[in-house]
């Protein structure tokens, strides 16, 4: 059975001490993970390739994998982008355009971290990186009333499109939280796919608005990363 893997990254930077650091991958470890994927014959593609793949086409490479970065941390530009650019690897970054820092995170007394500047996002987009929305302010969308839900989903799409001059086709549910009302709002806003935090691989017939992913985190050494990458779902 053919599978398409979508990997979830957050920070690509120097780990801190707070609990949220489970989602951080140091830059050197990220580079090593990319090397392993290439050695194992995985080929990198974008979420733009997922819809034709779901319809029975090819995503490009034989063993397709998509790299996604939630939140749009400035560190992604600083640490991950140079390697992606050098090796011509596509990736998807989900921005939170209504925030300048990750102030939804409890860093247990440490400062909030900066999110990506628009100028850096434009530079990455020009180089082939795809950008999507992670909602305007990163709320738990099922808890939003209808008006705020529409603003979080639709207004964030428009803001990113206005800033980057490119269509925004992909969404990622903050905290992975969604219900039927949220999914419908995302669909009505004009997105074509949406990523969840459900663990697994994408199979033919998967709902494009309920795409599962495989999370990569701080404590994931090479052996555990390879097990996560090659896990059977």
User: For residues 19 and 134, which has the higher predicted lDDT (pLDDT)?
Assistant: 134
Question: How much is the pLDDT for 16?
Answer: 80
User: Which residues make Cβ contacts (< 8 Å) with residue 5, sequence separation at least 6?
Assistant: 42, 64, 65, 66, 201, 202, 214, 229
Higher pLDDT, 22 or 101: 101
Of 2-6, 75-79, 175-179, least confident by mean pLDDT is 2-6
pLDDT at 22: 78
Domain parsing of the chain, residue ranges: 3-230
Please name which of 148, 147, 150, 115 lies closest in space to residue 131, comparing C-alpha atoms.
Answer: 115
DSSP-based three-state secondary structure for 199: strand
CATH 3.40.50.2300 for domain 3-230, yes or no, is no
pLDDT at res. 59 = 57
Q: What is the pLDDT of residues 163-203, one digit of tens each?
A: 999 999 999 999 999 999 999 999 999 999 999 999 999 99
Please say whether the beta carbons of 139 and 153 come within 8 A: no
Residue 13: pLDDT above 90?
A: no
- Section 221-230 average pLDDT: 84
In this prediction the pTM is: 0.94
At 30-67, the pLDDT tens digits run 999 999 999 999 999 999 999 888 888 765 677 899 99
Among all chains, which residue has been given the structure tokens 């990363």? 225
pLDDT at 227: 85
Confidence tier at 108 by pLDDT (50, 70, 90): confident
Q: Within 10 A of 109 (CB to CB), how many other CB atoms are there?
A: 7
C-beta of residue 218 within 8 angstroms of C-beta of residue 20:
no
Supply the pLDDT for residue 222.
83
Q: Mean pLDDT over residues 202-207, rounded?
A: 93
Residue 218, burial from CB neighbour count under 10 angstroms (0-12, 13-18, 19+)? middle
Mean pLDDT, rounded, for 131-140 = 98
Residue 205, Cβ neighbours under 10 Å: how many?
A: 8
Share of the chain above pLDDT 70, in %: 95
pLDDT single digits (tens) 19-32:
667 788 999 999 99
Query: Does the pLDDT value for residue 87 go beyond 80?
Result: yes
CB atoms within 10 A of CB 145: 8
* The pLDDT of residue 140 is above 90: yes
| CA–CA dist 220, 134 (Å, integer) | 24
Q: pLDDT over 90 for what percent of the chain?
A: 77
Q: How far is the C-alpha of 184 from the C-alpha of 200, rounded, in Å?
A: 22
Q: Are 25 and 12 in contact (CB under 8 A)?
A: yes
CA distances in angstroms from 48 to 89, 91, 113, 115, 217, listed in the order given? 14, 10, 29, 24, 25
Q: What is the pLDDT of residue 145?
A: 98
Question: What is the rounded distance in angstroms from the CA atom of residue 188 to the CA atom of residue 46?
Answer: 22
């Amino acid at each position: 059975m053919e599978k398409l893997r979508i990997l979830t990254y957050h920070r690509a930077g120097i780990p801190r001490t707070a609990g949220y650091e489970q989602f951080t991958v140091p830059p050197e470890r990220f580079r090593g993970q990319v090397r392993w994927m290439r050695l194992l014959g995985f080929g990198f593609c974008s979420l733009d390739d997922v819809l034709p793949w779901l319809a029975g086409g090819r995503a490009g490479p034989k063993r397709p994998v998509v790299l996604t970065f939630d939140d749009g941390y400035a560190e992604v530009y600083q640490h991950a982008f140079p390697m992606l650019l050098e090796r011509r690897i596509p990736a998807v970054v989900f921005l939170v355009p209504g925030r300048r820092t990750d102030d939804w995170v409890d860093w247990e007394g440490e400062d909030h971290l900066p999110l990506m500047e628009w100028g850096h996002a434009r530079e990455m987009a020009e180089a082939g990186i795809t950008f999507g929305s992670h909602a305007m302010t990163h709320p738990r969308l099922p808890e939003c009333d209808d008006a705020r839900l529409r603003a979080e989903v639709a207004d964030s799409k428009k803001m990113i499109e206005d800033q980057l001059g490119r269509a925004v086709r992909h969404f990622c549910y903050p905290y992975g939280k969604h219900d039927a009302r949220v999914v419908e709002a995302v669909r009505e806003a004009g997105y074509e796919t949406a990523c969840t935090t459900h663990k697994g691989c994408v199979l033919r017939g998967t709902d494009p608005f309920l795409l599962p992913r495989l999370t990569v985190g701080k404590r994931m050494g090479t052996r555990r990363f390879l097990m996560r990458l090659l896990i059977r779902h």
